[in-house]
C-alpha cells in the first residue's frame, strides 16, 4: 500500500489511474487520495514525472510477469535493488497498463531512491500564492515563481537526475551538473537541461518554454525539440512548435519591463491583458502581426495603449470594460 498515516491506496489502483485504465469510480478514489494530503499529491506528481521519463522499450512488457515482479518487490524490500529481465510482448494490447505496472516496479529498484530516504518520501512544496517568490534548491539552482504557481521538488537530489514539477510559471537558473540532468515536469511537457536559464509558463492548456542561456530539450509525448538562446517552444492541443522569441515579455514579473523587439501586437496585447487584468481586443485581425520595438517600464495601461495607438495610427474604442483596437 502507498499513502500516509491517514490515507492508503492500493498500488494496482494507482497504476491503473496513471495508465488511464481506471473506471470512473476508481478515478474518484485516486483523486480523493491525491487531495487528502500534500505528501500524496507530491508523491503522485513525482511518480508521473518518472513515468513520462521512462523509455518506450521499457513499456513493451508482459503484464502478468511485470505485475508478479512488482508484487515480489513490494513484499521483499531487498529485491527492490535487484534488476530483472524484461519480457517483450508481440502485441500492444497490454502496453497501456503494463507501462504503468512496470513503471512502479522500475521505480522501486531503479529510480525510487532519487526521492526516498529509508523508505519515506520527503518533498518540499512551494506555493507563491499572489506574490512572486524566489526559492533556492539543494543543488544551488534558483527558481523564481510567478504569482499563483507551485513548485514541488525532493528535499535532496540523491540520484542521477534532479526532478521537479511545476504548475503555473517560473524562471529557472539551473546550476550546471553534467552528471545529473535537471528535469522539469509541467502538465504533459518535460523540460530537460544540464545548466541554463529559461522561463516556463503553463496556463489554460498552453505551455511555453523560452530560453535565455544554454540549451534546453523540450518533449511532449513523442515530439522533441532542442532550444537555443532566444528560441521558444509552444505546446498547445498536442502540437509542439519551435520558433524565434521576439522580445522579453515573458520576464516582466522579474524585471518589471516589457521589452519588445519586433514583437507581434497580438503577443503584446495578450501580455497586457494578463499583467493589468485588462480586456483588450484586436477587432481588426490585420493588426495582430504588426511588429513593435520598444521598452515599456513604469507606464500605466492607458499610457501603453496610447503609445500603441499613436505608433500604428490605431483607433481605440472603450466599451463595457473592453479596449478595442480597430
pLDDT in tens, 65-119: 443 444 444 444 444 344 333 333 333 433 444 444 444 433 332 333 344 344 4
Between 121 and 249, residue with greater pLDDT: 249
Higher pLDDT, 90 or 170: 170
171-199 tens-digit pLDDT: 999 999 998 899 898 877 889 998 999 99
Cell numbers that stand for 169 in this block? 510559471
pLDDT tens digits, one per residue of 156-165: 887 788 888 8
Domains in the chain (CATH in brackets) are 2-120 (no CATH), 122-244 (2.60.120.1440), 252-325 (3.55.50.30)
In degrees, rounded to 5, the angle at the alpha carbon of residue 231 between the alpha carbons of residues 228 and 237 is 120
pLDDT reported for residue 40? 77
Q: Which of 241, 194, 233, 188 lies closest to 211, judged by CA? A: 233
Which of 25-34, 118-127, 193-202 shows the highest mean pLDDT?
193-202
Residue 297 or 51, more confident? 297
Give residue 234's Cα distance to chain centre.
12
Tens-place pLDDT, residues 220-249? 888 899 999 999 999 998 899 999 999 999
Residues 6 or more apart whose Cβ sits within 8 Å of residue 108: 70, 73, 74, 80
Across 162-166, 212-216, 238-242, 296-300, least confident range:
162-166
Give the predicted TM-score (pTM) of the model. 0.67
Total residues found in the chain within this entry: 326
- pLDDT score recorded for residue 17: 79
The three grid cell numbers given for residue 181, joined into one nine-digit string = 540532468
On the question of pLDDT at 301 being above 90, the answer is yes
pLDDT at 27: 84
Amino acid at each position: 500500500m502507498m499513502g500516509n498515516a491517514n490515507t492508503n491506496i492500493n498500488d494496482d489502483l494507482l497504476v491503473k489511474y496513471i495508465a488511464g485504465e481506471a473506471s470512473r469510480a476508481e478515478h474518484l478514489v485516486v483523486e480523493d487520495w491525491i487531495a487528502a494530503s500534500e505528501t500524496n499529491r507530491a508523491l503522485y506528481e513525482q511518480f508521473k514525472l518518472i513515468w513520462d521519463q521512462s523509455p518506450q522499450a521499457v513499456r513493451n512488457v508482459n503484464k502478468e510477469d511485470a505485475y508478479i515482479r512488482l508484487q515480489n518487490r513490494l513484499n521483499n524490500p531487498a529485491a527492490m535493488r535487484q534488476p530483472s529481465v524484461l519480457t517483450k510482448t508481440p502485441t500492444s494490447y497490454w502496453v497501456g497498463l503494463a507501462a504503468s505496472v512496470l513503471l512502479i516496479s522500475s521505480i522501486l529498484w531503479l529510480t525510487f531512491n532519487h526521492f526516498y530516504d529509508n523508505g519515506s518520501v520527503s518533498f518540499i512544496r512551494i506555493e507563491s500564492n499572489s506574490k512572486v517568490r524566489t526559492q533556492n534548491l539543494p543543488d544551488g539552482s534558483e527558481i523564481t515563481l510567478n504569482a499563483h504557481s507551485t513548485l514541488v521538488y525532493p528535499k535532496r537530489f540523491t540520484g542521477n537526475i534532479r526532478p521537479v514539477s511545476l504548475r503555473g510559471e517560473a524562471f529557472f537558473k539551473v546550476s550546471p551538473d553534467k552528471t545529473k540532468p535537471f528535469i522539469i515536469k509541467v502538465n504533459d511537457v518535460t523540460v530537460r537541461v544540464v545548466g541554463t536559464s529559461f522561463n516556463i509558463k503553463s496556463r489554460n492548456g498552453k505551455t511555453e518554454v523560452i530560453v535565455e542561456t544554454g540549451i534546453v530539450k523540450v518533449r511532449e509525448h513523442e515530439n522533441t525539440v532542442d532550444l537555443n538562446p532566444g528560441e521558444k517552444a509552444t505546446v498547445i492541443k498536442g502540437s509542439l512548435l519551435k520558433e524565434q522569441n521576439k522580445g522579453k515579455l515573458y520576464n516582466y514579473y522579474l524585471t518589471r519591463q516589457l521589452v519588445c523587439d519586433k514583437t507581434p501586437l497580438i503577443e503584446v496585447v495578450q501580455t497586457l491583458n494578463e499583467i493589468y487584468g485588462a480586456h483588450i481586443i484586436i477587432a481588426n485581425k490585420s493588426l495582430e502581426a504588426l511588429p513593435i520595438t520598444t521598452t515599456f517600464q513604469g507606464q500605466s495601461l492607458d499610457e501603453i495603449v496610447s503609445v500603441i495607438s499613436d505608433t500604428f495610427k490605431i483607433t481605440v474604442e472603450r466599451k463595457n470594460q473592453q479596449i478595442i483596437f480597430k
